[in-house]
Amino acid sequence: MRREINPILIRELRGRMRTPRAFWLLVGFLTAVAGTALLVYAASYLSSDGQSSSNNTIGNTVFFTLIATAMAILTIMAPVIAAGSIAGERERQTFDLLLTSQLSAGTIIFGKILATLAYCGLLLSAMTPLIAMTFLMGGVDLGELFIMYAIICASVLLFTCCGIYWSTRANTPLTAIGFALATVLGFMFGLPLLAVTIPTIWAQFLNDTAVLDAVATIGLAAHPFIAMYLTDTAIRQQQIWTHVVNIKGFTITLPATWIICIIESWLISIAFIVAAMRHIWPMRTRS
């Protein structure tokens, strides 16, 4: 028998795309991304010296502005959309009907995750013409674009799973959104704070900070903006796939920051998914 598409995914997409909210969110997203990029472009152009090399610099700057702005918006949007999903079912009093059906916990959770990712994917796709314009300016290559998109996708997955987890815990969408945003923003601001404070404390006790650098690289890589910045630097140094660290004379080769970012995001996402499934698991066992 032909396997059908997840019913939750179909219902979520059908419900979401039929409301005017979806259209206005898309318009808002594109306006914010394009507006910020336009401002940065104008500022870069006015301060440029008219050389052709400055075109590359402007292209690169606008590209990163677009990517960073999209990432910033999705950092908020993905957990908010996801957090409202299961808690919203509870509020609408439709969740019991799903639980008494033949759907497994996995189908419900993955349906909700895929629906959120699909909408975020639509936003990213809608941004493609803006990204394409930066190629005309130069300073950006296709590999860099794919890597940045990979970092965004991994992070959006992470924030979506975080939202879904809180959605299974809370009774109202508002509570779920509050906890999800607190977790995501705590992660986004807390991680850089640790990156600043820990080396300072570490330096009080040890002269050699090479180990800390290696650990920090791995730890901070989960942060999308840090991963983007470190990846951009690495690409300029032609280090796309690996990252070399020297610890007390030993050279250790680690995967590139963007690879670590993706792996860490996946691992944390899986942890959130398992926790979310366990939360609605007691009555979802298949015999």
Partner 1 sequence: MIVFDKLRKLYGDFCALDGLDCTIPKGAMVGLIGPNGAGKTTSMRLLTTLITPTSGDVWVDGMSVSAQPHLVRRLIGYMPDTFGVYEAMTAAEYLDFYARCYDIPVATRPALINDLLGLVDLASKRDSLVMSLSRGMAQRLSLARALLHDPQVLVLDEPASGLDPRARIELRALLHELHDQGKTILISSHILSDLADLCTHLIILEQGKLVAYDTITALLSTQQSRRIIIQTLTPTPALYAVVTHFNYTISVDPQLPTRYIVQMNGDDAAQAQLLKACIEHNIPVQQFASEANTLERTFLQVTAGLN
By CB under 8 A, name the one of 31, 47, 101, 209 that touches partner 1: 101
Cα separation, 240 vs 147, whole angstroms: 9
By CB under 8 A, name the one of 200, 204, 251, 287 that touches partner 1: 287
Using CB under 8 A as the binding rule, whether residue 209 contacts partner 1 is answered as: no
Using CB under 8 A as the binding rule, whether residue 100 contacts partner 1 is answered as: yes
Cα separation, 217 vs 224, whole angstroms: 12
Cα separation, 15 vs 18, whole angstroms: 6
Q: Do residues 222 and 265 lie in contact, with contact meaning Cβ atoms separated by under 8 Å?
A: yes
Cα separation, 86 vs 95, whole angstroms: 7
Token pair belonging to 186: 């705590």
Candidates 63-71, 183-191, 256-264, 279-287: pick the segment binding partner 1 (CB under 8 A). Answer: 279-287
Using CB under 8 A as the binding rule, whether residue 191 contacts partner 1 is answered as: no
Minimal distance in Å, beta carbon 51 to partner 1? Answer: 54
Residue 272: strand, helix, or coil: helix
Using CB under 8 A as the binding rule, whether residue 118 contacts partner 1 is answered as: no
Minimal distance in Å, beta carbon 81 to partner 1? Answer: 14
Using CB under 8 A as the binding rule, whether residue 99 contacts partner 1 is answered as: yes
Using CB under 8 A as the binding rule, whether residue 106 contacts partner 1 is answered as: no
Compare residues 95 and 229 and give the one whose CB is closer to partner 1.
95
Cα separation, 105 vs 153, whole angstroms: 24
By CB under 8 A, name the one of 47, 48, 94, 171 that touches partner 1: 94
Identify the CA nearest to 116 among candidates 276, 278, 282, 287: 276
Using CB under 8 A as the binding rule, whether residue 97 contacts partner 1 is answered as: yes
Q: Do residues 62 and 37 lie in contact, with contact meaning Cβ atoms separated by under 8 Å?
A: yes
Binding residues vs partner 1 (CB under 8 A): 1-2, 4, 7, 10-11, 14-15, 18-19, 89, 92-103, 282-287
